């Protein structure tokens, strides 16, 4: 989440889930939380019992809506217009919390004179290169400064060098505390959002003006010293070409209202799966090393470790410690083979050339680049956009390894896939050799889940996996072991990284299962000479004396036999509610990030009702109900001595709560680190039934578009595709569906694919409830039964009626509950910062009746 | 049966198309060049398959793999498209004709 990363410093949700119960107002937007995060949702209900107001902003009326006080319906893909309207409302009615925002955000900072806003340029920011579809961020900087971005998720996508960040250690950024300077952030914000009025919000989003104003009033009323509000979001925000900027809009709003780092105040990023947070912390993403260290890039000045560290280490803020974390990681990976002479093995770390994320690699697979693929815990033949192009790509592979609990579409596409069903190809024409390997289920293996609030939760194996099923750890460990044996003796330079890895995890049992706790101990880190576990990342060094597989996790296993992720001690009655002994949260077991914000600049709680962390003058340290997310002994009145050109944390004062940022402030305006602008701006989705009412620029100009045969896009306002189409999950069928579709008990709860059709549209088109319909886009057609419902209401957008359709994406041809994959309708294009796909707002057509099978892609030019 | 020179010719011509037009965004030219390079790579993989694979064939395979990585950087760039590297790649492939 580069949005949270650039805004606050870390790409993670800011609160503990149970802290949601402390909020006075909760806005669920971009999430059907009651159905997809039911465990977390109970804390909203607890808040409601305490008097909180619950708001659901969503295109659909769902089980979440049913339990909320207010439903604000919006058109899918118009979120920034809605949130921008809230920002406009808070600024123009002076409802923002001045004391908080002036102290802890960059609202008074002055931006370079060359900055130009989309308001004056037709919808793009200054620095836009039309030919490349990309920005230079020079004019977005603090005046006279070069601001490095916080190193967070997808930092590799940013292009800025930290080499120039010395300016940040030569004095504070220029500010105007009167907020009158035309280029101070406050004035820029006011100009930027000037046309996001309630009327405009209604015209763009379809949300009635009165409903919007009610949301604004409730949110404002429940913010300030005595009250707090939290936003909860999920992939309903992220799966857009503007997804990062939607979250940015929320960050601005919460920064203005003081709803960060305080009890019941924050942004909760609801992760889409059990350990998605963990899979970005210890990443499965191609562009990050563990715990958000950037992956070196062949086309940046990263040739040597010295170059890499100089290029990526900011002069000021906590990330100035980056070299300690990088060298410690290399020591964990390469052990005694990592020495000062060989740059601690840095040369063995793969260097990026291009975007190797899922969408581009799907296209590259279809082009024949990829020879083989491992699939763990995914089902892209159902779950990935343009699923037929995925099938075509899989059919180009030499080999494919799929590990899962049960047979799934990605493993039998060659036999039962949609292209085979239509007779376009036969199994004999697909050369891919598929290996389907049974995987152990969670209770059949040791390991951990890192949940949405950064809690690392250990779980033990309770029974042996059946038959040949094995854990993923077993598979990866033994695959690595066998590969190392095959390459043993190789003198090729490219093989030395593999051969130099520390790959010595102890194994046990008849299947030689690796010890998962040994992996966690390595991630935690240890002193190289003694092998003694480290207690905190503040002990890490860049001289090779410490090894650590993921610096943010340092402290989860601080001593022999002391696995803090195993701890399960809740606060009892009368406890402070932080549950600090209930497992362990990164970093340093802090439950609420940026909790220095819960005290005023002098270190006193803003209010008794909302106190969390404060300065204890007698003990000369920060204390409270949570572990302080701050330097424990740094006085609130400490100020940098600029005459000494301070670096690292010496450049941040005792009232700079956002320690991962180069200036310690919440970035309402982001000078560096985002590829699509320093502020969120409303653009229409790439596929939209309406023109952009705010700017001539129709869609995000930096979106990664990869249009090609088989991946054509629906043009804007195309009468062939007049309806908005959005996809969603179901409580009853988990994620890609297979674990629950193969089980008759859960399959019968949602036995067949369906599309939700508004009653009015069904009447207009002659679609009957449970009758067949055919949906189409430029990618193709699918047939599915209709769920005619009032859950989706027609909206008045830009002066006309817009209908929205919704369809669960979890169905395929395997299991008991079957149906067409919704993703066959979707296209491959990505957002500029993360390359994430769009699943929440496209356009389509629908007609009653079944698909005419000879017209798979009736709209294509072929 | 096409020879390596034929595959190299097709790949070089596809790279010429890219370098002539220099598309700044994703385009079909990159896709076509990638497909040609993959055909050339697969040819060298087949050549290297036996125990008696020559060091020259392995070297060619390494070169083509490196060129494909550069093409990925052009087709799916993280930063600026590395035109100079693509020019060098074109020269490497031209030597294989």
Among residues A83, A79, A84, A59, the alpha carbon closest in space to that of A71 is found at A59
In degrees and rounded to multiples of 5, residue A777 shows phi and psi of -140, -175
Alpha carbon distance A355, A468 (integer Å)? 36
Q: Which of A192-206, A478-492, A518-532, B38-52 has the lowest mean pLDDT?
A: B38-52
Query: What integer pLDDT is reported at residue A558 of this predicted model?
Result: 98
| A156 band by pLDDT with thresholds 50, 70 and 90 | low
What's the distance, Cα to Cα, between the start and end of chain A in Å?
Answer: 39
Chain A positions touching B75 (Cβ under 8 A) are 354, 360, 364
pLDDT for residue A149 is more than 90? no
Determine whether the interchain pair A133/B70 forms a contact, defined as Cβ–Cβ distance below 8 Å: no
Determine whether the interchain pair B78/A355 forms a contact, defined as Cβ–Cβ distance below 8 Å: yes
Rounded to the nearest angstrom, the minimum Cα separation between A47 and chain B is 43
What's the distance, Cα to Cα, between the start and end of chain B in Å?
Answer: 16
Q: Which CB contacts under 8 angstroms, 24+ apart, belong to A644-650?
A: A645/A166, A645/A169, A645/A170, A646/A169, A646/A316, A647/A169, A647/A315, A647/A316, A647/A320, A648/A316, A648/A317, A648/A318, A648/A320, A648/A321, A649/A317, A649/A318, A649/A320
Q: Which of A133, A352, A369 sits opposite B34 (nearest CB)?
A: A369
Average pLDDT of every residue of chain A? 95
- ipTM score of complex: 0.95
* Bridging pattern class, strands A704-705 and A526-527: unpaired
Instruction: Give the CA angle between residues A420, A423, A429 to the nearest 5°.
Output: 65
Mean pLDDT along residues A524-542 = 98
Beta carbons of A725 and A844 less than 8 angstroms apart:
yes
Tell me how many helices (H) and strands (E) chain B has. 4, 0
Alpha helices in A662-701 (DSSP H): none
Chain A positions touching B28 (Cβ under 8 A) are 708
Angle between helices A358-367 and B55-75 (to 10 degrees): 130
Chain B residues with CB under 8 Å of a chain A CB are: 24-26, 28, 31, 34-35, 38-39, 42, 68-70, 72-80, 82, 85
pLDDT tens readout for residues A364-422: 999 999 999 999 989 999 999 999 999 999 999 999 999 999 999 999 999 999 999 99
Query: What integer pLDDT is reported at residue A862 of this predicted model?
Result: 40
pLDDT for residue A151 is more than 90? no
| B27 band by pLDDT with thresholds 50, 70 and 90 | confident
Q: Which of B28, B35, B70 sits opposite A353 (nearest CB)?
A: B70
pLDDT tens readout for residues A788-808: 999 999 999 999 999 999 999
CB count within 10 Å of CB A197 equals 17
Cis peptide bond N-terminal to A587, omega within 30: yes
Beta carbons of A463 and A591 less than 8 angstroms apart:
no
Indicate the SS3 state at residue A805. strand
Q: Which residues, listed in sequence order, are joined to residue A584 by a DSSP beta bridge?
A: A456
- The pTM of the full predicted model, rounded to 2 decimals, is 0.97
Structure tokens given for A644 = 């000494």
Query: What integer pLDDT is reported at residue A854 of this predicted model?
Result: 53
pLDDT for residue A267 is more than 90? yes
Structure tokens given for A552 = 């943010």
Determine whether the interchain pair A705/B82 forms a contact, defined as Cβ–Cβ distance below 8 Å: no
Domains of chain A: 2-143+183-272 (3.40.228.10), 596-657 (no CATH), 704-848 (2.40.40.20)
Q: Which residues of A343-362 are buried (b: 16+ CB within 10 A; e: fewer)?
A: bbbbebbeebbbbbbbbbbb
Alpha carbon distance A315, B55 (integer Å)? 47
A362, containing H or E segment: helix A358-367
Region of A163 (left: φ > 0; alpha: ψ -120 to 50; beta: rest) is: alpha
Q: Give A665 or A738, the one with higher predicted confidence.
A: A665
Region of A20 (left: φ > 0; alpha: ψ -120 to 50; beta: rest) is: alpha
Alpha carbon distance A473, A591 (integer Å)? 28
Mean pLDDT along residues B67-74 = 95
Mean pLDDT along residues A516-540 = 98
Nearest residue in chain B measured CA to CA from A156:
B78
pLDDT for residue B26 is more than 80? no
Q: Does A352 touch chain B (CB under 8 A)?
A: yes
Among residues A789, A793, A795, the alpha carbon closest in space to that of A767 is found at A789
* Bridging pattern class, strands A507-508 and A513-514: antiparallel
Query: What integer pLDDT is reported at residue A486 of this predicted model?
Result: 97
Region of A291 (left: φ > 0; alpha: ψ -120 to 50; beta: rest) is: left
- Which of A294, A300, A369, A699 should one mutate to test binding to chain B, selecting the residue with the greatest count of B CBs within 10 A? A369
Q: Is A770 exposed, middle or buried (0-12, 13-18, 19+ CB in 10 A)?
A: exposed
Mean pLDDT along residues A747-772 = 97
Strand intervals (E) in A654-742:
704-705, 723-728
| B3 band by pLDDT with thresholds 50, 70 and 90 | confident
Q: Which of B24, B31, B78 sits opposite A708 (nearest CB)?
A: B31
| A1 band by pLDDT with thresholds 50, 70 and 90 | low
Mean pLDDT along residues A508-532 = 97
Task: Quickly list DSSP for A70-106.
Answer: EEE---TT-HHHHHHHHHHHHHHTT-S-HHHHHHHBS
Supply the DSSP symbol for A55: E
Return all residues near A509 (Cβ < 8 A) that are at least 6 apart: none
Task: Quickly list DSSP for A809-852.
Answer: ----SSSSSB---GGGS---EE-TTT-----S-EEEEEEES---
Beta carbons of A203 and A799 less than 8 angstroms apart:
yes
Chain B positions touching A367 (Cβ under 8 A) are 31, 34-35, 38
Determine whether the interchain pair A298/B79 forms a contact, defined as Cβ–Cβ distance below 8 Å: no
Alpha carbon distance B67, A453 (integer Å)? 42
Return all residues near A575 (Cβ < 8 A) that are at least 6 apart: none
Q: Does A370 touch chain B (CB under 8 A)?
A: no
Alpha carbon distance A282, A276 (integer Å)? 10
Chain B positions touching A369 (Cβ under 8 A) are 34, 38, 68, 72
Query: What integer pLDDT is reported at residue A860 of this predicted model?
Result: 57
What is the residue whose two structure tokens read 């790649």?
Answer: B89
Beta carbons of A802 and A737 less than 8 angstroms apart:
no
Percent with pLDDT over 90 in chain A? 92
Q: How many residues does chain A have?
A: 862
Q: How many residues does chain B have?
A: 97
Q: Which of B25, B73, B76 sits opposite A299 (nearest CB)?
A: B73
Structure tokens given for B91 = 């020269």
Percent with pLDDT over 70 in chain A? 98
Structure tokens given for B25 = 């965004």
| A200 band by pLDDT with thresholds 50, 70 and 90 | very high
Q: Which residues of A701-738 are buried (b: 16+ CB within 10 A; e: fewer)?
A: bbbbbbbbebbbbbebebeebbbbbbbbbbebbbbbbb
Instruction: Give the CA angle between residues A237, A746, A841 to the nearest 5°.
Output: 20
Beta carbons of A691 and A799 less than 8 angstroms apart:
no
Nearest residue in chain A measured CA to CA from B66:
A353
pLDDT for residue A655 is more than 70? yes
Q: Is A176 exposed, middle or buried (0-12, 13-18, 19+ CB in 10 A)?
A: middle
CB count within 10 Å of CB A772 equals 15
């Amino acid at each position: 989440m580069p949005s949270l990363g650039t805004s606050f410093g870390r790409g993670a949700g800011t609160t503990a889930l149970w802290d949601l119960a402390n909020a006075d107002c909760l806005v669920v937007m971009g999430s059907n939380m009651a159905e997809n995060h039911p465990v977390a949702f109970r804390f909203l209900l607890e808040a409601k019992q305490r008097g909180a107001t619950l708001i659901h902003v969503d295109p659909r009326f769902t089980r979440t809506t049913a339990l909320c006080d207010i439903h604000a319906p919006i058109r899918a893909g118009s979120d920034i217009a809605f949130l921008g309207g809230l920002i406009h409302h808070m600024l123009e009615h002076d409802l923002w919390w001045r004391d908080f925002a002036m102290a802890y955000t960059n609202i008074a900072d002055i931006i370079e004179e060359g900055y130009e806003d989309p308001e004056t340029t037709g919808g793009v920011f200054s620095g836009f290169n039309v030919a490349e579809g990309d920005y230079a961020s020079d004019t977005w900087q603090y005046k006279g400064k070069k601001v490095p971005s916080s190193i967070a998720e997808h930092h590799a996508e940013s292009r800025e060098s930290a080499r120039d960040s010395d300016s940040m250690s030569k004095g504070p950024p220029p500010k105007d505390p009167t907020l009158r300077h035309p280029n101070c952030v406050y004035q820029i914000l006011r100009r930027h959002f000037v046309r996001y009025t309630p009327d405009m919000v209604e015209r763009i989003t379809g949300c009635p003006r009165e409903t919007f104003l009610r949301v604004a009033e409730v949110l404002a009323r429940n913010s300030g010293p005595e009250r707090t509000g939290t936003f909860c979001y999920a992939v309903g925000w992220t799966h857009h070409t503007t997804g990062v900027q939607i979250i940015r809009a929320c960050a601005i709003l919460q920064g203005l209202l003081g709803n960060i780092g305080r009890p019941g105040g924050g942004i909760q990023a609801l992760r889409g799966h059990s350990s998605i947070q963990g899979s970005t912390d210890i990443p499965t993403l191609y562009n990050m090393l563990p715990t958000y260290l950037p992956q070196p890039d062949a086309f940046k000045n990263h040739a040597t470790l010295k170059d890499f560290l100089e290029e990526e280490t900011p002069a000021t803020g906590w990330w100035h410690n980056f070299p300690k974390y990088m060298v410690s990681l290399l020591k964990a990976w390469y052990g005694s083979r990592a020495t000062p002479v060989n740059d601690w093995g840095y040369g063995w770390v793969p260097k990026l050339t291009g975007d190797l994320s899922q969408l581009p690699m799907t296209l590259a697979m279809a082009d024949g680049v990829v020879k083989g693929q491992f699939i763990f815990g995914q089902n892209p033949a159902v779950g990935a956009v343009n699923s037929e192009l995925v099938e075509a790509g899989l059919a180009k592979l030499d080999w494919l390894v799929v590990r899962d609990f049960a047979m799934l579409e990605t493993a039998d596409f060659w036999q039962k896939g949609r292209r085979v069903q239509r007779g376009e190809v036969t199994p004999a024409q697909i050369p891919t050799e598929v290996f389907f390997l049974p995987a152990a289920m969670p209770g059949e293996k040791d390991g951990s889940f890192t949940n949405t609030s950064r809690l690392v939760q250990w779980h033990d194996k309770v029974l042996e996996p059946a038959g040949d099923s094995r854990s993923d750890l077993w598979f990866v460990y033994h695959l690595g072991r066998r590969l190392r044996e095959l390459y043993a003796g190789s003198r090729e330079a490219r093989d030395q990284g593999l051969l130099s890895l520390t790959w010595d995890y102890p194994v046990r049992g008849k299947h030689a299962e690796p010890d998962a706790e040994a992996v966690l101990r390595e991630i935690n880190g240890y002193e190289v000479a003694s092998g003694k576990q480290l207690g905190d990342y503040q002990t890490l060094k860049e001289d090779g004396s410490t090894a650590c597989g993921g610096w943010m996790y340092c402290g989860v296993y601080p001593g022999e036999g002391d696995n803090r992720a195993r701890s399960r001690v809740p606060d009892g009655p009368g406890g402070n509610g932080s549950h600090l002994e209930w497992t362990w949260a990164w970093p340093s077991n802090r439950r609420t990030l940026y909790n220095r914000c819960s005290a005023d600049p002098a270190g006193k709680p803003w209010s008794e009702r909302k106190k969390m962390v404060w300065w204890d003058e007698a003990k000369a340290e920060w204390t409270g109900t949570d572990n302080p997310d701050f330097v424990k002994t740094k006085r609130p009145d400490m100020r940098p001595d600029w005459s000494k050109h301070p670096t690292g944390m010496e450049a941040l004062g005792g009232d700079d709560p956002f320690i991962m940022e180069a200036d310690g402030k919440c970035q309402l305006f982001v000078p560096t680190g985002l590829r699509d602008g320093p502020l969120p701006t409303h653009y229409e989705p790439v596929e939209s039934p309406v023109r952009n009412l705010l700017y001539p620029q129709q869609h995000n100009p930096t979106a990664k578009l990869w249009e090609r045969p088989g991946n054509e896009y629906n043009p804007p306002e195309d009468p062939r595709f007049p309806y908005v189409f959005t996809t969603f999950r179901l409580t009853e069928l988990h994620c890609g569906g297979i674990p629950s579709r193969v089980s008759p008990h859960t399959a019968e709860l949602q036995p067949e694919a369906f599309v939700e059709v508004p009653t009015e549209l069904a009447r207009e088109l002659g679609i009957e409830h449970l009758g067949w319909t055919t949906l189409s886009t430029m990618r193709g057609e699918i047939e599915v039964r209709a769920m005619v419902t009032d859950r989706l209401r027609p909206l008045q957008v830009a002066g006309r009626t817009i209908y929205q359709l919704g369809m669960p994406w979890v169905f395929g041809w395997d299991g008991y509950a079957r149906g067409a994959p919704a993703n066959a309708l979707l296209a491959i294009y990505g957002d500029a910062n993360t390359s994430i796909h769009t699943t929440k707002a496209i356009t389509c057509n629908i007609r009653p009746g079944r698909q005419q099978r000879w017209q798979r892609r009736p709209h294509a030019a072929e | 049966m096409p020879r390596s020179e034929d595959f190299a010719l097709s790949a070089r011509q596809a790279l010429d198309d890219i370098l002539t037009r220099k598309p700044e965004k994703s385009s079909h030219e990159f896709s076509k060049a990638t497909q040609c390079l993959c055909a050339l790579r697969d040819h060298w993989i087949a050549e290297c398959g036996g125990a008696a694979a020559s060091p020259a064939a392995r070297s060619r395979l390494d070169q083509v793999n490196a060129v494909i990585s550069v093409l990925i950087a052009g087709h799916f760039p993280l930063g600026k498209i590395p035109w100079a590297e693509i020019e060098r790649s074109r020269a490497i492939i031209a030597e294989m004709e």
